[in-house]
Amino acid sequence: MEKKLKVAIVGQGRSGKNIHGKFLLSALNTHFEIFGAVDRDEVLRKKAAEIYPGALVFSDHRELFPYRDSIDLVVNATYSDEHYPVTRDLLEHGFNVLSEKPFARTYMECMTLDGIARRNGCVLGVFHNTQKAPFYTDALGRIASGVLGDPLQVSIVYSGFARRWDWQTLQKKVAGSTYNTGPHPIAMGLGFLGFDDSIRVAYSRLGTALTSGDGDDYSKIILEAAGGPVVDIEISSADAFPPGYTLKIQGTRGTLVSSPKRYSLKYIVDGENPPRPVVEKSLRDENGMPVYCSEKLAVHEEQGEYAGDAMDVGAAGIYSDMYYAITEGRPVSVTCAMAAKVVEVIETVHAQNPLAVRFF
C-alpha cells in the first residue's frame, strides 16, 4: 500500500473547504490525509476542526513553519491576491505547494514562483483541474483521432445571467471574470493550440454589465497560433440565453459539442459521399429552373455522457500528479510554464482593455 502524504489547506472558503477539503475527504482521494487547515476567520477555523477530525487548525500560514518536516504538501486556497505572496512564502520555507487559480496576477510573478521552487527543490503545482476533466480530454482525443478532420474553430463558452457583488468582483483582489473563471477556458484554449509559443491574443474585449465591483463580468478573447484553429472564448454574466454547450469544435469533417456532462458528435467519412466537382454554371432542376445546392449527406452521429467532471476526476488527476511528483519525482502534466501562459493571456487582455479602478 502506498504511503499517504500529509497535506495542509490554507484557506477554508468556497475553494479550500468545498473543493479541496471535499475532495480530500472523499473516497477518490487515495494519496493524502489532512494534517491541518488554516484560516484567519474564527468561524471557518471552528468548522475546519469539526469536518477534519484530528487535524490541527491555524490562523496564519506561517504557523505551519514549525511543522515543515510533518507536512508534505500545502494547498494555497487563499484570496486570489494572496496566491503569489503566500505561495512564495511557503516555497521559501521549503514546502511543496499546490496553488489555486489564478497562479498569480502577472506572468513575471508566475515565473518568479517557478524559479524559487526549482532553487529550493520544491514541487509546485497549479490546480488547473479542468485540464484533467473528461469532457476536455475527450475533445483533445477526438481531434487527435482525425474524426473531425482538421479543426477550424474551437468555441468555449462559460456564460450565464447573474449578478455578483462579492470580493471576486474587485480588481484589487486579482478578480473579475477573466481572472476568476478565465483560467478554465483559457487553459483549454491554449491546450487546443498546443500551448504553442506562437499563440497570440488576436482580439479581446472586457466589459462590466451586472457586476457591483470594478472587475469585468464580460470577456471575449480570440486566440490564434500558426497552423491552429481559431479559439473563441466567451465568459459572460449577461447572457440570458447561453448556447447549452461549453465546447464546440468545428472541423473539416464534423463537429463536436460538449458540456462537462455530455456530448454530441456529427461527422462525415471520406468516400461515403459522392464527389462533387465544381459546376461553374447555375445548377438547374429537371425543369431547367435554377436551384440551390442540395443533397442528403451520409453522416455519422454519436451522443454520450461523461463519467465524472473537473471536480472529481479532474481533482483526482491533479492530486495524483502532485503525489507522484513528490514521491517519485515525476513531472506534473500541468506545468508552471503552462499556468504562467494562462496568466500571460489574462494580463494581455487586461492591458488591451484597461478598466477603471473604483475600489482601492
Q: What percentage of the chain exceeds 70 in pLDDT?
A: 100
User: Model confidence over 177-187: pLDDT tens digits?
Assistant: 999 999 999 99
pTM, full prediction: 0.96
- Grid cell 473528461 — which residue? 134
What is the band of 241 on the pLDDT scale with cuts at 50, 70, 90?
Answer: very high
Q: What would the pLDDT profile of 148-181 be if each residue is shown by its tens digit?
A: 999 999 999 999 999 999 999 999 999 999 999 9
131-266+301-307, which class in CATH?
A: alpha beta
pLDDT in the model for residue 296 = 95
- Are 60 and 40 in contact by the 8 Å Cβ rule? The answer is yes
Residue 358 has a pLDDT of: 97
Query: Tens digits of per-residue pLDDT, 295-333?
Result: 999 999 999 999 999 999 999 999 999 999 999 999 999
State residue 93's pLDDT score. Answer: 98
112-135 burial: b if 16+ Cβ within 10 Å, else e: bbbebbeeeebbbbbbbbbbbbbb
Question: Is residue 48 pLDDT above 90, yes or no?
Answer: yes
DSSP H helical segments within the chain, as ranges?
14-15, 22-24, 42-51, 83-92, 107-120, 134-145, 177-180, 183-192, 315-328, 336-352
For the four alpha carbons of 111, 229, 261 and 308, in that order, the dihedral sign comes to negative
Does the 5-127+312-342 domain belong in CATH 3.30.70.100? no
Asked if the model's pLDDT at residue 1 lies above 80, the reply is no
The fraction of the chain above a pLDDT of 90, given in percent, is: 99
What mean pLDDT comes out for the span 73-94?
Answer: 98
In the chain, which residues fall in CATH 3.40.50.720? Answer: 5-127+312-342
**CATH 3.30.360.10 segments of the chain:** 131-266+301-307
68 band by pLDDT with thresholds 50, 70 and 90: very high
